[in-house]
Amino acid sequence: MRSHLSSRVLRRAVIFLVASLSIGGCGTVRNPSLERARDAYQKARQDPLIVRNAGAALDRAQLTLETAEQLWAKEHDVNEVEHLAYIAEKRVEIARVTAERRQAAEELKQGGGRP
């Protein structure tokens, strides 16, 4: 009798714990913001102008993107992942603009050196 009752209590406790844990993470759900950021990053990574002229800026974008992906895989924290995806996308844009500035600076240097 005693062992029967205590096993019921134990079973309820386990069900309660599993239920409360699984509310946080609900299977494999895709995150559109994260996918958009990843696409933008991959396009930039394939652009030799950006890789050559703004490698460090692109690496920063990559770091943010990786943090977002890890957080999405582990915790499914929608607010934080969407925030990080936004930051990553903007960092890709910063890399693109930085590359354009360096390109213009290079042209200026060559043009300015002409007679």
Q: Does residue 83 interact with other proteins by CB under 8 A?
A: yes
Nearest CA-CA partner of 53 in 113, 101, 110: 101
Minimum gap (Å) between residue 74 Cβ and other proteins: 12
Place of tokens 């910063």: 94
Q: Does residue 6 interact with other proteins by CB under 8 A?
A: yes
Q: Does residue 20 interact with other proteins by CB under 8 A?
A: yes
Q: By 3-state DSSP, what share of the chain in percent is helix, strand and coil, each rounded to 5?
A: 85, 0, 15
In DSSP notation, 8-27 reads HHHHHHHHHHHHHHHHH--S
Question: Which is nearer to other proteins, 28 or 79 (by Cβ)?
Answer: 79
The contact set with other proteins (CB under 8 A) reads: 2, 5-6, 9-10, 13, 16-17, 20-21, 79-80, 83, 86-87, 90-91, 93-94, 97-98, 100-101, 104-105, 107-108, 111-112, 114
